Amino acid sequence: MNSKWPKVMLMSGLTSAWLLYDMATATETPRQAVAVLQYGLLACALIGLIGSVVMAASDSGQGDSR
């Protein structure tokens, strides 16, 4: 599996974990704009993670047809 999808999985997974940790360990409630931005970034990172897993699975399922 020599494609970009494992790198995308790693980056989006680390980003998701960092955002979840940051939100879970916050000592004070962020302003509404910051909270919306954090949840938006988390949603994008999770969508990227799910998409890269699906693309990597579909690439490995095709075999070496090229």
60: pLDDT strictly greater than 60:
yes
Residue 32: give the domain boundaries: 5-62
64 — pLDDT class (breaks 50, 70, 90): low
* pLDDT score at 18: 94
Number of domains in the chain: 1
Read off the DSSP letter of residue 25: T
Q: What are the C-alpha distances in Å from 5 to residues 24, 49, 51, 57, 62?
A: 28, 9, 9, 9, 15
CA distance 62 to 14: 27
- Confidence grade of residue 2 (pLDDT, cut at 50, 70, 90): low
Instruction: With a cut of 60, say whether residue 7 has pLDDT above it.
Output: yes
